[in-house]
Structure 1
Amino acid sequence: MTAPIPDLIPSERRVLELVRRHGAISRARLSPLAQVTPSTLTRVAGSLLTLGLVREGARHNDGRKGVPEQLLELDPQGAMTYGLSIGYNHLHLMALDFTGRIILDRVEPTRSDDPQVVVTHARSMLAAHRPVAERYARVLGLGIALPGAFTEGGRRRLPVPGIEQWGTLDITRQFAAISNLPIYHDNDANAAALAEALFNRDLSADGFAYVYLTNGVGGALVEGGRVRQGHNGNAGEFGMCFPRNRSRPSAEDFAIFLAEHGHGDGSTATLDSLAPPETLVDQWVERAGRQLARLLDTLIWVMDPAQFVIGGTLPLDVRRKLAAVLQDAPLESLENGLSRPAIHASSLNGPVALGAASLPLSQFLP
Structure 2
Amino acid sequence: MTTRSTELLRVVHHTPGVTRADAARLLGVGTGAATELVTKLSRASLLVQAPAAPSGSRGRPTTVLLPHPEGPVVLAVAITHEAWRVDVVELGGATAASRSGRHASTGWDEVRATVTAAIAEVISGFGDRPRAVGVSVPGTVSRSLRLDASTAGWHDVDLTALWPAADVFVAGNDATLAATAESRRGAAVGAAVALHLRIEAGLGGAVVEGGRPTIGALGAAGEFGHMPFGDPSVRCPCGAPGCWGTAVDGTALARLLSEPPPRDPVTYARRVIATARAEPQSAELTAVQEVGAALGRGMAGLVNGLDVDLVTLGGLGVDLLAAVPDAINTAYRDGLMLIHRASPPPVLPATLGDDEGPIAGAAEEAWAALLPQLT
Aligned partner of residue 211 in structure 1, secondary structure: strand
Question: 1:311, CA displacement in angstroms?
Answer: 0.8
8 Å CA contact 1:204–1:307 kept in 2: the answer is no
Amino acid at match of 2:140: A
Question: 1:84, CA displacement in angstroms?
Answer: 1.8
8 Å CA contact 2:137–2:174 kept in 1: the answer is yes
Question: 1:287, CA displacement in angstroms?
Answer: 2.4
Instruction: Give the aligned CA root-mean-square deviation in angstroms.
Output: 3.3
Task: Give the distance between the partners of 2:340 and 2:318, measured in 1 at CA.
Answer: 31
- TM-score, normalization by structure 1: 0.81
Task: Give the distance between the partners of 1:72 and 1:299, measured in 2 at CA.
Answer: 41
**Aligned in 2, Cα 1:323/1:23: closer, same or farther, shift over 3 Å?**
farther
Question: 1:261, CA displacement in angstroms?
Answer: 6.6
Question: 1:218, CA displacement in angstroms?
Answer: 0.7
1:193 matched to 2:184? The reply is no
Matches for 1:149-188 after TM superposition, within 5 Å = 149-150=140-141, 153=143, 155-164=145-154, 167-172=155-160, 174-177=161-164, 179-188=165-174
2:231 paired residue number: none
1:34 matched to 2:27? The reply is yes
Task: Give the distance between the partners of 1:13 and 1:272, measured in 2 at CA.
Answer: 43
Amino acid at match of 1:287: E
1:46 paired residue number: 39
8 Å CA contact 1:19–1:25 kept in 2: the answer is yes
Matches for 1:274-289 after TM superposition, within 5 Å = 275-276=274-275, 277-279=279-281, 280-289=283-292
Question: 1:323, CA displacement in angstroms?
Answer: 4.8
2:212 paired residue number: 226
Which residue, out of 357, 363, 366, partners 2:369? Answer: 363
**Aligned in 2, Cα 1:104/1:59: closer, same or farther, shift over 3 Å?**
closer
Deviations 1:111-163 (A, max 9, x none): 334433322222211222234424xx722312222122245x56544451332
Task: Give the distance between the partners of 1:92 and 1:38, measured in 2 at CA.
Answer: 42
Which residue, out of 2, 5, 15, partners 1:12? Answer: 5
8 Å CA contact 2:200–2:265 kept in 1: the answer is no
- TM-score, normalization by structure 2: 0.80
- Taking only the aligned residue pairs, the percentage that are identical comes to 21
**Aligned in 2, Cα 1:130/1:334: closer, same or farther, shift over 3 Å?**
same
2:321 paired residue number: 319
Task: Give the distance between the partners of 2:364 and 2:92, measured in 1 at CA.
Answer: 11
Amino acid at match of 1:138: R
Q: What residue ranges of structure 2 are gaps of 5+ in the alignment? A: 229-234
8 Å CA contact 1:150–1:234 kept in 2: the answer is yes
8 Å CA contact 1:81–1:357 kept in 2: the answer is yes
Deviations 1:319-349 (A, max 9, x none): 3235554444434545125631111122514
Structure 1 residues 344-353 or 40-49, which shifts more?
Answer: 344-353
Amino acid at match of 2:320: V
**Aligned in 2, Cα 1:50/1:252: closer, same or farther, shift over 3 Å?**
farther
Which residue, out of 198, 201, 217, partners 1:215? Answer: 201
Question: 1:265, CA displacement in angstroms?
Answer: 7.9
Amino acid at match of 1:269: T
Q: What residue ranges of structure 1 are gaps of 5+ in the alignment? A: 1-7
Structure 1 residues 33-42 or 182-191, which shifts more?
Answer: 33-42
Matches for 1:1-366 after TM superposition, within 5 Å = 9-59=2-52, 67-75=60-68, 77-134=70-127, 138-150=129-141, 153=143, 155-164=145-154, 167-172=155-160, 174-177=161-164, 179-200=165-186, 203-242=189-228, 244=236, 246=242, 247-258=246-257, 260=258, 267-273=265-271, 275-276=274-275, 277-279=279-281, 280-312=283-315, 314=316, 316-321=318-323, 323-328=325-330, 329-337=332-340, 339-347=343-351, 348-350=353-355, 351-365=357-371
**Aligned in 2, Cα 1:284/1:108: closer, same or farther, shift over 3 Å?**
same
Q: What number of residue pairs does the alignment pair up? A: 350
Task: Give the distance between the partners of 2:262 and 2:280, measured in 1 at CA.
Answer: 15
Task: Give the distance between the partners of 1:349 and 1:364, measured in 2 at CA.
Answer: 26
Task: Give the distance between the partners of 1:112 and 1:85, measured in 2 at CA.
Answer: 16
Aligned partner of residue 117 in structure 2, secondary structure: helix
**Aligned in 2, Cα 1:254/1:72: closer, same or farther, shift over 3 Å?**
same
8 Å CA contact 2:18–2:65 kept in 1: the answer is yes
Task: Give the distance between the partners of 1:195 and 1:76, measured in 2 at CA.
Answer: 24
